[in-house]
Structure 1
Amino acid sequence: MTTPFRRSHLQTLSIALGASVLALAAPAAAQSAAATDAGFETFVPSNSPNSDKIDYSIWDEAMKNLVVSMGPSLRQGAGRPDPSFGSRRQYGHVSRYRLEGTRVMFSFLNTEVIGSFTEYRKDLEATADKVDIQALSRNEQLAYWINLHNVALIEQIANAWPVRQPREIEIGGVPLDDAKFITVEGIAMSPRDIRTKIVYTHWQNPKVIYGFWRGDIGGPSIQREAFNADNVSRLLDRGARDFVNSLRGTEKAGSKLQVSKVYEEAAPYFFANFETDLRAHLAEFADEDVSKILSETTRTEATITEYDIADLAGGVREPTYQNITSDGVSTRFRIPQSMARLLAQREQKFQKILREGRTGTVTFTNITLPDEGENDGEVE
């Protein structure tokens, strides 16, 4: 894959904003559902995998420059911000979950960069004509499907931006998540098809849920790395811990455990007994706070949603901009007031984490930090 991302543009943005093998067997219900989808049976993984690999270094570089981490959830909803200066209109993000997860810098992308996303998505599709995807190792296959899904989402959202909610986007009159604009081995498929008819059907470990980015704040975070066979288990673990322990993933309402509607889609494949199976899964990744919620609640409901776009600008072009500073020095790089406010709140959050001595993985700027104590192994 040789599609050239326009690196100089992405690196400028980065500097300016810098202030395992998963088991084959699936639940019988999921396998039965998949059998009714003509063509998708071709994507059953081979029982005799080869050692071929796919290079995602281009996408890895893009992710490191395009994605901003908001850090781990403090399980404290953010209050509604004041209107932008000089206006009664509210620009930018107002969601109580706006300081959780990760954000993609759609508002800074030019036509050239957006075109590269389409080229790269087509490159990934064409890879399946040159490489026997089903004969790759299971981790290699999983990385392929996750990356293709996420590239396709970023491509289409970038094309449609500005847009407040990705679910508003339609392709040929069909909502983005169900639009069959991706073609692999001659089979037209949607982002939802990749999740449910391929990955959820043929991988039994629910960790795979956390690889798929939906474009909105309410879903799992997009990682600042491309997935590959060597890191897929580690990144899924990271995504699971982030989401399970966030407000957009789990919350207590009296005696009820409220969870994201993301789990509702995954239930037929991983949580046949929704109450028991989901709680066991959540307990695997829960920290002290969420473990306490699990013990204090008796009923589970999939009710949490947040459909606002997971970008920095809130899906709108704000008319008022201001210069940003680095180490107290003003730069020529100008961003909307609402974005400056969001980044200031992000910095305040990180300072609070430091003051309170909280532990965990925290990304303070768009730089790459080595992971310690994490080892990618086989996940049965």
Structure 2
Amino acid sequence: MKSLYLSLFEECRKEYEAELARGKVDEARKYALKCAEILKTLAEKMPGRREFYLEKARRWEEAAEELKTSPPRGTQASLKGGASTDEYRAQVEGLIARSTVTWRDIGGLEDVKRLLARNVAIAFAKRPEAIKPWRGILLFGPPGTGKTLLASAAAGSLKATFFNVKASEVLSKYYGESSKLITALYELAREKAPSIVFIDEVDALSLKRESVHEATRRTLATLLSEIDGFKGGEEEFVLTLASTNTPWDLDEALLSRFPLRIYVPLPDREAIKEIVKIHTKGLDISGLDLDGIAEESVKRLYSGREIANLCNLAIHHMLEEENPELADFEVLSEGDPRKLELRIRPLEMRDFEEAFKKIKSPLTKKYVERYERWAREFGG
């Protein structure tokens, strides 16, 4: 029912803008009033969002009155916040990412994938009223362990609308207006359900951070309210996935909205071998000692991202040896690089030995132990 009214509102909004562009002020005013009526109906249908929709309706009525008393000189009318609402919607639409990632695209992390896949499926499946899915799931662990990839796979497996949001960018780019963007984000997510909102670096919103500004507090309050959902009326379910590299920075209010907390650890030996196979697909790796590469990677505390970089460096070492002319400026300047056909050979351990020399993990054993302690104490 809600989706029907939102579709009607969207049609009226577009007609309003079209009539304004044509200079037909009276027609535009009629559509502005229709928009207000639809929003008032939504306020009745959704008690939990009553004030939100009534405020939007009031703005559209003001826009209609403004068109009556002082028609715009240009082709656009000021909506006293209504236009900015459309701008927020446009910004939010830019956060939609089309995910084609599947669980098979992620090497290792079998327990993590099963746990996440099961809970995401429960969230969107048809279920008895007694079964309450988690509204918020937190992925935490060292940098580069695949948290964003896991969220993408969750969306890709469901063919859900995937909103990829970096909390730090929202706070900096939309400073002072971030809470309005969060409201627009969840409004659109409900329209396009099934939806997954992925908030990366969610710790940027934590009140534990030093020098927390009022704008951050408002943004956090809005986010917590949206994750909770609203009682009464029909509302499409939106799953919020969040990730952090510093779970200990999350305050209690934020942490409580993510009762399911999944530790995404550094890859083990078997996972590393799978990651190497993924990132060397199409090349001959029969001569590689995968156990040796895995052993060395574990010893060096490599994350999935560093193993991907390791493979890339090893491949480039092979290409440099087989294609020395790539470093010859004279040869390259005389021809078209797009017509070059690269020579390749099977990857060898010496390619990886060279790559190991260039990659250093930023982690220490003490830092990894901190994640493990937090997982034991707060994970679930």
TM-score range, shorter chain: under 0.3
Q: Normalising by structure 2, what TM-score? A: 0.22
Select the structure that is richer in helix. 2
